[in-house]
Chains A and B, each alone.
Chain A
Amino acid sequence: MLRAQGLDFSAGGKTIVRGAALHVDAGECVGLIGPNGCGKSTLLRMLYRVLPPQRGQVWFEGQDIWRMDARAFARQAAVLAQASAPAFDSTAREAVMLGRLPHQGRFAADSAQDQHIVDKSLKRVGAASLAQQSMATLSGGERQRVLLARALAQQPRLLFLDEPTNHLDVRYQLELMRLVRSLGVTVLVVLHELNIAAQFCDRLYLMQAGALVASGTPREVLTPEAIHGVFGVRAAVDDHPATGRPRIAYWIDHD
C-alpha cells in the first residue's frame, strides 16, 4: 500500500533521516520506534506528504505521493498527530466535520452523508456524548479520541499516527491503541513505548540516528541486544502472561 525508498532529509547541516526505505501492506499495523530525536517524526511527515523529502520517493498504491493532488491524498490517508492546544475553540463535532473537507465542494453545505459519517466516526471512538462540548474543556484522552474521529471522517484507507499515546494515562494508552486496531484500516504508527508497540503492531521498524536499523515482527526486532544497542539500556524480553506478546523489562547497570 505504502512504499518508500532512499528518503533523506537534513536541516541546518545536520542529517535527520538518511536512506530510509520501508513498506506497509494493506491491513497491517506497522510501528516505527526509536529514541527521542532519532528522526521518527520527520520520517513520518515525509510519508504523509507534508514534508518533501530531499532525496528518495514515496509511493501510495504505486503512485508517487508528490504527484498526487493534496486533496486526493487526503481522501486516502489521514493523520493523527501529537496533540497541541488550538488557538481558537470549536465544538468536538465541528472539529470532526473538518475531516470531511477533502470530500466536499467549495460552496456545498455539509450533506446528510457528511453528517452521518461524522456521527458514526464520533460513535466509533466512543465520543458521541462529547459532540457538542468545546474542545478546550476536553481531557487529553478525550481530545485524542475526537481527533481520531476526525481522521476517521476522512474515510482513509491508511492512517498515520505520531505518538498518539503521548501524555495519556496507561488506561487511555491501551484503549486508544485497541481502538485503532479495531478500525480495520492500515496503520503506520510512531510509538515511544516499546511494550505498546510489542502488543499492538504486526511489524516494527527500529530507527537510530536517522537510519532504519532493524525491521520485522516485534519478537524479531525487540531483542535485548537491539534494545541495548539503540536505547542504551539493558533489557529482558519474555512473554506477556495475559496477551502472549513480547514483554520488555528494562534496567540500567550501576557503574
Chain B
Amino acid sequence: MKTSAWALVLLILLALAVLAGVAWGSAQLGIAQVWAVVQHQLLQQTGQASAVPDGVLPHYQIVWMIRLPRVLMAALVGAGLAIVGVVMQAMVRNPLADPYMLGVSSGASVGAVSVLAWGVLAGAGLYAIAAGAFLGALAASVLVYLLAQQRGRIPSARLILSGVAVGYMCTGLTSLIMLTSGQRDLANALLGWIMGNLAGTQWPALGLPAALLLLGMAWLLAQARQLNALLAGDETAATLGVTAERLRRQLFVVVSLLTGVMVAVSGAIGFVGLVIPHVTRMLVGTDHRRVLPIAALMGAVFLVLVDGAARTWFAPMEIPVGVFTAFIGGPFFIAMLWRGAAREER
C-alpha cells in the first residue's frame, strides 16, 4: 500500500477515534449527541448561532469543556511522542530508543515539577512548565548519550542501561521534589507526572503543544534525507555531505523541546515512541519522508484510543494513560529484544 493511502486511512481512523473518544466515558453519549455539540460550537464560532439550544445543553459541558480538549491533547501528545521516538532511534541508530525508556521524559518531569514546586518563573504558567521540562529533557538526553557511548559506538545494552539509570534518578528526584514541596495538591498529582495522565486538559493548554508539534514536524521533514543518512552511520553520512555531529546536536534540541512540551501537558507517557515507529517502519519502510508523517498520525490514533480505554475500562475509576501504554509497550519491547537477540546470534 502506498504512503498516501496509509495517510488517508489513518486520517479517517483519527477522526473516528476522536469521535469515539468523546462519546466514551462515565456518561455514555451517542455519536449524534457529540456531533450536535460540535456543530453548535462551530456555528457559534462563525457567528451563525448564539445561545446553546436546550437539547444540546446537558452534554455541552461534558463534550466541549471536558472530553474534546482531552481527546485532542491525546492526539497531539501521541503524535509528538511518536516522532520523538522516530528521531531518537535515528540519532542513536537503535530501534529500541524511546523518550521514556531513555530517561528523557523523566528528565522533563524533573524540570516541570521544579518549576511547579519552587515557582521559578511561575508567572509564565504552562510556558514556564514547558521551559523547565525542555531543560530537563535536554540535560537527561545529553547525559544518556554520553554515558551510552563506547569508542564512538552505542551498543544496545549500554544505551538501555544508561537510559534506565538516568530515568530512575529522575523519577526519584521528581518524587522528592513533589513530596517535600509542602503543596498538598502537588503530592497528589505525583502519580500523574510519573505515569502520564491527560485528565483535566483544558482548551488553552492545547495551543503550545500544537504549535511546537507543527514547527518541529516541519523542521524534521526538512531534515528527512539527512536522517536517512544518519541511519546509514556517521561515516557514511559524512561521505554524503552530512555532518552527523552537528545534525545530532540540533536534533537533541528539537527532541528535547517536543518531549518537554508533551511531558509538561501530560506527564511521562511511556512506550508510544517505541511501539509506533516500529509499526510504521513495517508499513512504509525506513525513509523518514514517509515515516515521520505516518508515525505522527498513527501515534495520534493510538493514544486517543488508549486514553479512551484508560478512562473507561475500570469506570468509574480512571487509570492514568501511562499505565495502559506500559501494558502494551512492555511486552512489545520484550518481543523486540528477543528478535534482536536472535538476529545477533545468526
Contact = CB atoms under 8 A, between A and B. Distances in A.
Please say whether chains A and B are actual partners in one complex. Answer: yes
Given A70-B242, A107-B222, A98 B228 contact: yes
Given A88-B95, A88-B286, A94-B287, A101 B229 contact: yes
A48 B233 contact: no
A87 B278 CA distance: 13
Residue among B89, B225, B243, B287 facing the most chain A CB atoms (10 A cut-off): B225
A94 B285 CA distance: 9
Given A87-B94, A98-B229, A101-B242, A106 B286 contact: no
Contacts of B241: 69-75, 101-102
Given A70-B243, A71-B241, A88 B222 contact: no
Contacts of B233: 84, 86
Interface string B276-303: 0000010001110000000000000000
Contact of A87 (B93, B235, B238, B285): B93
A87 B95 contact: yes
A98 B232 contact: yes
A154 interface: yes
A45 B152 CA distance: 16
Residue among A45, A90, A104 facing the most chain B CB atoms (10 A cut-off): A90
Given A87-B231, A104-B225, A74 B287 contact: no
A107 to B, nearest CB: 6
A149 B235 CA distance: 17
Nearest to B239: A79
A194 interface: no
A112 B229 CA distance: 21
A74 B222 contact: no
Contact of A48 (B89, B221, B239): B239
A139 to B, nearest CB: 14
B240 A90 contact: no
A86 B243 contact: no
A208 to B, nearest CB: 25
Interface residues of B, number: 26
A50 interface: yes
Nearest to B156: A87
A49 B240 contact: no
Contacts of A79: 236, 239
A68 B68 CA distance: 54
B238 to A, nearest CB: 5
Contacts, number: 73
B151 to A, nearest CB: 11
Interface in A92-129: 94-95, 98-99, 101-102, 104, 106-107
A106 B222 contact: yes
A94 B286 contact: yes
Interface string B199-225: 000000000000000000000011101
B336 to A, nearest CB: 12
A88 B281 contact: yes
A69 B238 CA distance: 11
A45 B236 CA distance: 11
Interface string A40-77: 00000100111000000000000000000111111101
A101 B286 contact: no
Given A87-B95, A88-B231, A50 B239 contact: yes
A199 interface: no
Contacts of A95: 232
Contact of A101 (B95, B231, B240, B281): B240
Contacts of A49: 238-239
Contacts of A69: 241
B231 A86 contact: yes
Contacts of B226: 101
A60 B240 CA distance: 16
A155 B79 CA distance: 38
Interface of B: 89, 93-95, 221-223, 225-226, 228-229, 231-233, 235-236, 238-243, 281, 285-287
Kindly list the 5 A-B residue pairs having the minimum CB-CB distance in the complex, ordered from nearest.
Answer: A74-B241, A71-B241, A79-B239, A102-B241, A70-B241
16 contacts: A48-B239, A50-B239, A69-B241, A70-B242, A70-B243, A72-B241, A79-B239, A84-B233, A86-B231, A88-B281, A90-B287, A98-B229, A101-B242, A102-B241, A106-B225, A154-B240
Given A81-B236, A87-B95, 4 more contacts: A81-B239, A90-B287, A98-B228, A106-B225
